[in-house]
Amino acid sequence: MPLPPASLPPLRPGAVIHGPGSYGVDALLDGFTAELKRRGFRVGGLVQRNHGPGDDCAERMELVDVATGRAYDITQKLGRESQSCRVDPTGVAEASQAIRNAVASRVDLLVINKFAGLESHGDGLSDEMLTAIAEGIPLLTSVGSRYLNEWQTATGGFCDLLSPVPDALWRWWGPQRMYVDLVQGVADAEVRRVVTGDKWVLVETADGLGVAARQAPAAEDDPQRWAGRSLRDLAAMAAQSWDPLEIAVGVAALNAHYNRPDVTGVPGNGLDLFASVEGRVVVIGGFPQLARRLPRAKVIDLNPQDGEYPEAACDWLLPGAEAVAITASAFANRTLPRLLRVSAGATVAMIGPGTPLTPRLFDYGVHSLAGFVAIDREAVVRTIAGGGGSRDFHPYGRMVTLHRPPHS
């Protein structure tokens, strides 16, 4: 019996904790949700935007519906000397419809600008927040430190407390979602051919050719299995299927889109990125000339050789490592999310011909990507169809390395 499609793991409500004032947090939530929308995720709810002083020298506050862009004025005009709360409960109540609409449509993420004074007393948007949590919809909000006890009481402690920095939000969002993220960026292009060799598979379109290592022993494959399916349809298997061959074809489809001939980066071997690292370097998987390039590295492999560590050593060696090099096979066999979580704080590179060359991966904890771009496509096709490995088709393309920008 085939397994149901892979589903994303549930998320505990995320609360960005901050001190007095929330202007930086408002911009943080606004920017994060805008980026998820740009990548194709369905985001709903409300973000707060403040505008310069009005007639009474107080800033004008508005809630903006993330889905539609409609703005709701929530500023009470109390006069310039007033010390009372300037949030207009009537405006908040009107804006709450945006949240109910988002919950009804079961968005991928519901953002609610804050849990603050009104919510701490059970008013404001508190009912909408608790409804979303009960419905299992991922919720992201912000909580001032003065209201932390009330937030914990309202949620029963069922939440994740987040630092007010982008990396914390992406870690909460979770590396499992990188697969869906990448699929959403793939064009719905026509597939020219799919080739499944003994060791590698490939997917080709008019614009590019992508490869991926097989994750299971070769078997008799029906070429018609892939007939008539678009590139995005094949790529979706990387996020949804549990069948090893389908996942490999899905990853190859991702790479046919992202590893196109026009991609630019730094040439060279990805392992050289860590040649000057003084702290602990951990390498996941076997790489050619590894002993010469990184003689001090701790190597972890599913089938460890003499001097290498078994897979279970990940939980011992990765925490506290300065640098981690991960084979692209970890992306294809879906162990990459766990490795990224355990490697938090390390500089991480994903290396190998099956690496998708897209900056989308940088936000999930990968700092460098070293992947393969095919140049002589027919030679790559012949090699993979004939059962050749990566060393055999490397001469017919180029390795390209992308680095995460320093400021991101």
Pairing verdict, β 109-112 and 43-53 = parallel
**H helix intervals, 18-112:** 23-38, 89-104
Rounded mean pLDDT, 398-403: 94
Ramachandran quadrant class, 300 (left: phi over 0; alpha: psi -120 to 50; beta: rest): beta
Structure tokens at 9: 């793991």
Rounded mean pLDDT, 275-304: 88
Rounded mean pLDDT, 381-408: 92
- What's at 142, amino acid-wise? S
Q: Residue 82 pLDDT more than 60?
A: no
Tell me the per-residue pLDDT of 178-222, one tens digit each, with 9 for 90 and over.
999 999 999 999 999 999 999 999 999 999 999 999 987 766 677
Supply φ then ψ for residue 340, to 5 degrees. -65, -40
56 versus 230: the higher-pLDDT residue is 230
pLDDT band at 151 (very low <50, low <70, confident <90, very high): very high
User: What is the predicted pLDDT for the residue at 354?
Assistant: 97
Classify residue 74 as exposed, middle or buried by CB count within 10 Å of its CB (0-12, 13-18, 19+): buried
Q: Residue 23 pLDDT more than 50?
A: yes
User: What is the predicted pLDDT for the residue at 94?
Assistant: 86
Q: Residue 54 pLDDT more than 60?
A: no
Nearest-CA neighbor of 400 among 208, 237, 246?
A: 208
Rounded mean pLDDT, 351-380: 97
Q: Which residues contact 224 (CB under 8 A, 6 or more apart)?
A: none
112 strand-pairing partners: 46
d(C-alpha 44, C-alpha 70), whole Å: 12
Of 83-87, 133-137, 208-212, the least confident: 83-87
Nearest-CA neighbor of 99 among 54, 61, 58, 135?
A: 135
Q: Residue 52 pLDDT more than 80?
A: no
d(C-alpha 322, C-alpha 85), whole Å: 47
Q: What is the pTM of this model?
A: 0.91
- What's at 243, amino acid-wise? D
Of 71-80, 190-199, 364-373, the least confident: 71-80
Q: Residue 83 pLDDT more than 50?
A: no
Tell me the per-residue pLDDT of 89-124, one tens digit each, with 9 for 90 and over.
788 888 889 999 999 999 999 999 999 988 999 988
d(C-alpha 321, C-alpha 343), whole Å: 7
